[in-house]
A and B are shown apart, each in its own frame.
Chain A
Amino acid sequence: MQVTTSPPTRSSSYAARVFPRDGTSLFRSPGILFVLPSLALFATFVGYPLFHAVYLSLTSSPGFGPATFVGGRNFQVLWGDPVFWQALRDTAIFTVAGTVLQTVVPLAVALLLREGWRGALVLRTIYFIPSIVSLTVSGLLWQLALAPNFGPVNQVLQSIGLGSLARPWLADSNTVVPMVILVSLWQSFGFMLLIFHAGLQNIDPQLYEAARIDGASKFREAWSIAIPLLRPVTELVVMINVISGLQIFDVIYTMTGGGPIHASESLSTYLYSLSFGNASGAVPAFGYSAAIGLVLFVLTALVTFTLYRLRKSPEE
């Protein structure tokens, strides 16, 4: 008699591990007790809200009382909503421009400060100060600085004979997005600089010495040694910037509220405004907001996953 056996599939081996026939199971493992608290917290504060948001996005709900199930109607409305597309476009601009600036500028400055100047420590400390100021306070400070009548930015421009450049920076649709990006850079610069600085400290100085013996210039040292070896750090910084760019809220909320005429609206500020602001008047649109939140979640997950795959692929 011939007996043929097929190799176990992935799912069957997983099932065998979780529910083995010998009576031992995952639930019998003492490890489950250690995982349980964090699992419970995760399920309560991340899992449940996530699933509830998915449910909410399929309903019409003012945030109280029973929600009315409307299926995919909110997503259909979203498709035809010009403010949503404006917010999506702005979010993409904030993410791309923010990521490029918040990666390249701190990296360049970190490389310059690497040279061990006497004032490097002082400069690093000064650059880090904005990072310890809350985003809300930063937003308010810059709102004052960029105010059209008493703001120091316009006053400085006027005092140096460039008064024609003075403008209501945050009320002008053409300047509001660049201003928000600049403030975001100002805010995050010190932190990103610190990450790059820490990365540079981990590079073996002998590599630079060897390069110098071979006659490499400072630029060559940075280009051929520091930047390639900083790749894992750069990937981390890019990841942080992309995620924070997609979720940008605080700076916009405090500086512009998404205005003027939605010119600086991001997905996060738009969904907030639909739930708690004047975008929906006396009837908060929680279902519609949840639909936007879900789009943002999927977008963030996709981008993060793609970046993660890109990050891993060369090593694989």
Chain B
Amino acid sequence: MDGENSRQGQACGGRAAGWAVSGGAVAGADRQGARAVAGQLSRRSVLRAGLGAGALLAGGGSLAACGSSGSAKGKAALKMWTWYTEDAKAFPKLISEYESKNPHVTIENRIINFDNYAPALESAVSAGEVPDIFAPGVLAVTYGKAGIALELKQALGESFLSQCFDSTNTEYSDGDKQYGIGWEAQTFGIFYSPSSFKKAKIDIPETWDDLIATVEPLKKAGLICCSFNGTPSASVADFFLPLITQATDDPELVINLDRLTGSGRSWNIPPVVQALEMTKKVFDAQVFNPGALGTSGAAQELLLYSGKAAMTWEGSWAPADFISTAPKSFLDEYDVFPNPAWKSGARHWTPNQAGSGLSLSAKSPYVDEAVKFVKWLYEPKRYAQVMNDTASMPATKAAAPLVSNPIVRKMTAYLTDGDGCPHILMGQGSEDAAGNGAEAVIKGSATSAQAAPQIQAAVLQARKAG
């Protein structure tokens, strides 16, 4: 064995020697080259070359930065970033109209997929490249306090902002300052198929108990009562949070819970437990489709317009979805009724606020132009037209009576009637904790009394994170 290895070793050694010869020739040439280069290259010259390359890179970066700052031939080049895909046709038309009337302004419109929007915006903000006009999501107040988003009461004027629904203004306000303006408002309701109601011989339910009572007749008629979308879990929070307002008739409580102030210093309070109990009651009664917590928004709507479910619990963006996906027979007959009430005669509190909004960069070199453009967008006739073209719910009181889609008009009336209540949580960890708490109760992994302190503990834990 050793002898075999030895033979192999010799063979390899022979080959290696051959390599060594040629390698040696190469190495010799290398050494000569190295001496020649070493003669010209000192440590200083290498460092100098490195610094030169660095300067070139930095210079390139600066040039690129100049290129992206947007001033082309003295024009104000505004950048507008949103995730509003429903406006994909409307925005280019509006921009082109504005640019033709204002030749000194160009507007670069970017609509980024919702899933990618937050990383894109946060990265841009981190890099100091804040778009001049942007959809702030839940970050408006945070950015406003940091001097990134423009204070709009000063920039647009209080009278201008007062044309918007209060709930949409509150969402973007901190004290007496406001850092965003609602673009679309939203309310929730129950969309239904009248023919399914007729088939099961049921009436429009007024309360949650009435809704539960429709489950059996609809089941007998071969129908799922109501479809629901539990993916992502924010939808569960959307359902559960308004029930806190319904239990108390106090729309401020959810805001206080979000901020952990006043009456909402803790989530471990009776109204939260009651709201969780109602959530559990509705789910246990099989009001919603099997697997509701794993159902996507598209499947939820499909269940309704394919005739498998008689109703669906959803927001005011659904009519626009239905127009693009549902069959005409469904579009001709479907209707909507308000979020069921806690008890007979009680108010039909429904989740609202702005589904989408706009903020302006405080650091933009073109603040005045951005302000002018936004004011132009919100001119009542133009704004109402955009909302109608996209079957969206307007955020301004002036546009509310001009809504042309009958379903959206009905849902806008929930707002004007004052039945809107908050459901968009801004506080660190609030949305996640509330949604998960409600989901745990629905699944039976926690009782309502256990889930309320768990939500509080999760929120407190999240707020320790820096």
Contacts and interface: CB of A to CB of B under 8 A. Distances in A.
B465 A171 contact: no
Contacts of B148: 64
Interface of B: 33-34, 37-38, 41-43, 46-47, 49-50, 53, 118-119, 122, 125-126, 138-139, 141-143, 146, 148, 230-234, 289-296, 299, 302-303, 308, 425-432, 436, 439-440, 443, 445, 458, 461-462, 464-466
Given A29-B34, A30-B33, A274-B465, A147 B429 contact: no
A180 B281 CA distance: 31
A280 to B, nearest CB: 5
Nearest to B124: A64
Interface in A22-43: 24-25, 27-30, 32-33, 36, 40
A62 B440 CA distance: 29
Contacts of B429: 279-281
Main secondary structure of the interface of B (DSSP, over half): helix
Contacts of A62: 142, 146
A169 interface: yes
A274 B439 CA distance: 20
A170 B125 CA distance: 34
B21 to A, nearest CB: 23
B466 A30 contact: no
A234 interface: no
6 tightest Cβ-Cβ pairs between the two chains A and B = A148-B291, A60-B466, A171-B294, A168-B294, A168-B291, A288-B465
A32 B41 CA distance: 11
A204 interface: no
A169 B294 contact: yes
Nearest to B303: A149
A278 B46 contact: no
Contacts of B47: 27
Contact of A260 (B37, B118, B122, B233): B233
A86 to B, nearest CB: 11
25 contacts: A28-B42, A28-B46, A29-B34, A30-B34, A36-B53, A40-B53, A61-B466, A62-B146, A63-B126, A77-B466, A148-B294, A149-B291, A149-B295, A168-B291, A170-B231, A259-B233, A260-B233, A260-B443, A261-B443, A278-B432, A281-B426, A281-B427, A281-B430, A281-B431, A282-B138
A36 to B, nearest CB: 7
Contacts of B41: 28, 30, 33
A73 B439 contact: no
A285 interface: yes
A157 to B, nearest CB: 13
B53 A260 contact: no
Interface in A142-168: 143, 147-150, 167-168
Nearest to B121: A276
A82, A149, A283: most-surrounded residue (chain B CB, <10 A): A149
Interface string A1-41: 00000000000000000000000110111101100100010
A280 B118 contact: no
Contacts of A29: 34, 38
Contacts of A276: 118-119, 122
Interface in A126-155: 143, 147-150
Contact of A281 (B42, B231, B428): B428
Contact of B428 (A40, A70, A257, A283): A283
A68 interface: yes
B42, B295, B443, B464: most-surrounded residue (chain A CB, <10 A): B464
A64 B466 contact: no
A280 B37 CA distance: 57
Contact of A64 (B126, B303, B436): B126
B141 A30 contact: no
A300 to B, nearest CB: 22
Given A262-B436, A278-B432, A284 B294 contact: no
A208 to B, nearest CB: 22
A176 to B, nearest CB: 9
A49 to B, nearest CB: 13
B233 A261 contact: yes
B355 to A, nearest CB: 15
B125 A260 contact: no
Contacts of A262: 436
A281 B125 CA distance: 17
B465 A285 contact: yes
Contacts of B46: 27-28, 32-33
B461 A82 contact: yes
A281 B425 contact: yes
